[in-house]
Amino acid sequence: MRDLPKPRRVPSFMGPLFRWLFQWPFRIALAGLYRAGFLPWQLTVLSVVANGFVGWLIVTGRFFLPGVLLVVSGLLDVFDGSLARLRGEESRAGAFLDSVSDRISDVILFGCLFWALAGQGHVLPAALALSALIVSLLVSHVRAESEALGVSLAEGLVQRLERYVLLMIGLIFPHAILPVLFLLNALGAITVLQRTYSAWQQLGGKARPALPRRVK
């Protein structure tokens, strides 16, 4: 069996702490998934399905159980890429599927949260849930646009890990959803500015290709 990889390095606020705390439980669970014969794309699809179920629970007005189940969908999202590396099956198609499924999950979770809060007459939290969705999509969009231009851009104060953890806290603990949504918006906006500035610096520092000379 191949050497078990550690959790992926995530240059974010909580990334280094989680990598240090959970590297051995992560490896044990990853070995179990490998021996059980799971494929990376199966974990990706299961993560989206789990988030769909969580979204349905939120729409029905239940918050505590969805907050707990987010742990499951979050772990599935973490393990798919590591399982692909362990099996030697990393590919651009797999990375594309993973990225698209992440965006679908974000839309499901925040969209259902907006729907539930708006239906309960909580106007401000509903508006913040919608804006948190927009900010989360912007965080990913800035990275995608930068990488399309050849710029490596992985840093960010708040990334997917932090969004999951904060959303779990907001759903599990009573009356925590409003401050959590404020944090998601504020820290997400800082992340967008951080990534935009980093990309701008990297793009500005590259030498422009010389224009072809005209033939006289």
Residues involved in catalysis: 102
**HSE toward the beta carbon, residue 78, CA cutoff 13 A:** 28
185 and 132 in contact (C-beta within 8 Å)?
yes
Instruction: Of 191, 8, 165, give the one whose Cα is nearest residue 74.
Output: 165
DSSP 7: P
Amino acid at 22: F
Output the CA angle 38-40-42, nearest 5 degrees.
Answer: 65
- Give Rg (Cα) of the chain: 19
The separation between CA 191 and the C-alpha centre of its own chain, rounded to angstroms, equals: 13
Three-state SS for 43? helix
Instruction: Of 93, 77, 206, 87, give the one whose Cα is nearest residue 152.
Output: 206
Amino acid at 39: L
